[in-house]
Amino acid sequence: MINQTQNPANYWKYYGITTLSIVVLTLLLKACGPFLGLVNIALLYLIPVLISAVRWGKGPSFFAAGVGVLAFDFLFVPPVLSLNVADLRYVISFLVFLSVAALTASLASRLRNQFQQAHQREASTAALYALSRQITAISDLEVLLNQIVQHVADTLHAQAAVFLPTAAGDQQLEAYSKDSLDWAKDESHLSIAAWVYKQNARAGRGTASLRESADLHVPLNTESEVHGVLAVYVGDRPMADMPELIRIIEALSDLVAVAISRVKLANEAKVAQLTAESEKLRTALLDSLSHELRTPLATIIGSVTGLLEGEDVFSPEDRRELLLTIREGSTRMNRLVGNLLGMVRIESGMLRLNKQWCGIEDVVGVALAQLKDSLHHRKMSVRLADDLPSVPLDEVLIEQVLINVISNAIKYSPEGSEIVIEAVQQGDRLELSVKDEGTGIAPYDLERVFEKFYRGQMTKHIPGTGLGLAICKSIIDAHHGQITATLNGKRGTVIHISLPVQFAEQERDRNDSNRSEDFNY
């Protein structure tokens, strides 16, 4: 219903329209009066009453009823052009007309109010639903608050801001709607928001505190705590409209509080998960290092002690064997430290590639030369296709990949078994594979073996850090390649490495400076 204090100019305009409609109706009835009769003329004067009640409320409808009775009496009831009546029974007719008009106007006005309330509730529900959909997938608190205040401002056609407590307990402006920076930075908001946050009670226009203010401050609270304060500029809206507006703002604030609580809980859960993962990785790393370092250290210490204390006992062959044992243990420890440093580089984003044109035969040869003392009676077969193209790669890093893969094949396969290295070209890819006849990997572990510190269920009894294949995957991914693990028939594992190929012939037309590039990623 239109409130007089809300829009007085329009309100008086409605009275003018009502008067004009009665004048037009009177002229029509005056022209058609002889054919209609007084009863029908009286009933037709109810039309402006109904229209005014439906469109503008009780005031204009009651005015239409009064003006209609006067017009009917003055122009149609004998004696005409006089407010006197020749027949007193018309007075009863006038009272009945006014009663019917008043009842009709009241019912129509009530129906109009109910329609407006239903429309407002529908708009409020739609706003809440739109806001809930908008903020459901947001996990960043800053983005969430900016979306919220702008949605509240657009829904209520008002300026809005959100204040959150700092670590020291003071209130701080966190987000504000478009074009409301000057209003939001008013220092009075901070003191009011601090009171609202502490008391968990709303303040501002239409409330028990600061009811004449142009702003409304509502706490963002859930059952567990108060998360902040929502401030809305409501201006000089009439007090009669404030209860419905406060209801809408509180509904929005409840939804906002739940969203903020959800993001906070998600962040806390993420921190807890990261803490647990860090603790898990730390424990796994310490366990792996204790197992991996203990054996080569004990071997080195024992061999060195034997050489020092049994200088006259050992023959030259025995000394050579002890020295080889020391070198093997030192190489193993060096490989472990290299893997740890490589993982640190990868995790810190410091991994850089220095790509150059390399033949895969040379890379395989260097890797096998470094591992020749670690074969322990295993047969190594190398099957490289003829005319393999040069490949742009970081030779040092790819050598590390092959050393890690071949070391795993040696570690998890029995003595006397065969390890096969194959390389072929398939289209624009170089396919390299390392096959062993060892313990193998369970089917459900084939993808997870490339995760950091993950050890397969079938190989947990064998010492290892679980870093080798994780480092291999990071290096191969940096080369835009792929590395996968499959089963080698009934026994053993196959590690497949796929690298993109760029033929040297395609580079001949380029500048000499581009034929050996340093690719930085």
Supply the pTM of this predicted model: 0.43
Per-chain mean pLDDT for the chain: 78
Confidence check: pLDDT of 78 > 70: yes
For the chain, domain boundaries: 8-123, 137-269, 356-514
Q: What angle do CA 330, 331, 335 make, to 5 degrees?
A: 115
Report residue 294 CA to chain centroid gap: 46
Per residue in 113-138, is it b (16+ CB within 10 Å) or e — as a string?
eeeeeeeeeeebeebbeebeeebeeb
Confidence check: pLDDT of 251 > 60: yes
Least confident interval from 164-173, 253-262, 295-304, 355-364: 295-304
C-alpha to C-alpha distance for 495 and 509, rounded to whole angstroms: 36
Residue 489 burial (C-beta neighbours within 10 Å; 0-12, 13-18, 19+):
exposed
C-alpha to C-alpha distance for 248 and 235, rounded to whole angstroms: 16
Quick check: 1 and 113 in contact, CB under 8 A?
yes
> pLDDT (tens digit, 9 = 90+) per residue, 390-432?
888 888 888 888 988 998 888 888 888 999 999 999 988 999 9
Count Cα atoms within 13 angstroms, Cβ side, for 131: 31
Class of domain 356-514: alpha beta
For 379, 389, 431, 498, the CA distances from 385, given in Å and listed in that order, are 20, 10, 10, 15
Query: What is the rounded average pLDDT of the residues 455-484?
Result: 77
C-alpha to C-alpha distance for 357 and 334, rounded to whole angstroms: 28
Return the CA Rg of the chain: 44
SS (H, E, C) 312-359: CCCCHHHHHHHHHHHHHHHHHHHHHHHHHHHHHHHHCCCCCCCCEEEC
pLDDT recorded at residue 514: 42
Q: Which of 189, 255, 193, 188 is nearest to 229 (CA)?
A: 193
pLDDT recorded at residue 335: 65
CATH code for residues 137-269:
3.30.450.40
pLDDT band with cut points at 50, 70 and 90 for residue 324: confident
For 180, 217, 375, 493, the CA distances from 158, given in Å and listed in that order, are 9, 13, 77, 67
C-alpha to C-alpha distance for 154 and 302, rounded to whole angstroms: 78
C-alpha to C-alpha distance for 406 and 368, rounded to whole angstroms: 8
For 62, 74, 75, 306, the CA distances from 71, given in Å and listed in that order, are 14, 5, 6, 130
Question: Which residues partner with 470 through β-bridges?
Answer: none
Q: Please provide residue 486's backbone torsions phi and psi, each rounded to the nearest 5 degrees.
A: -135, 170
Angle between helices 242-309 and 316-347 (to 10 degrees): 170
Question: Which residues partner with 219 through β-bridges?
Answer: 229
For 312, 327, 328, 430, the CA distances from 309, given in Å and listed in that order, are 8, 19, 21, 53
pLDDT recorded at residue 435: 93
Residue 425 region by backbone torsions, left for phi larger than 0, else alpha for psi between -120 and 50, else beta:
beta
Q: 446 by DSSP, 3-state: which?
A: coil
> pLDDT (tens digit, 9 = 90+) per residue, 85-132?
666 666 777 777 777 777 777 777 677 777 766 766 676 667 667 767
Q: Please provide residue 206's backbone torsions phi and psi, each rounded to the nearest 5 degrees.
A: 85, 5
pLDDT recorded at residue 498: 93
Quick check: 395 and 363 in contact, CB under 8 A?
yes
Q: What's the token pair of residue 423?
A: 């390389």
Confidence check: pLDDT of 6 > 60: no
> pLDDT (tens digit, 9 = 90+) per residue, 24-36?
888 887 777 667 7
Q: Please provide residue 192's backbone torsions phi and psi, each rounded to the nearest 5 degrees.
A: -65, -45
C-alpha to C-alpha distance for 229 and 219, rounded to whole angstroms: 4
pLDDT recorded at residue 5: 38
Query: What is the rounded average pLDDT of the residues 272-286?
Result: 70
Query: What is the rounded average pLDDT of the residues 250-277?
Result: 82
Q: CA torsion sign, 17 to 23 to 29 to 31? A: negative
Residue with the two structure tokens 């004009």: 20
Strand order across the 493-500 sheet: 379-384, 418-426, 429-435, 493-500, 482-487
Query: What is the rounded average pLDDT of the residues 7-22?
Result: 72
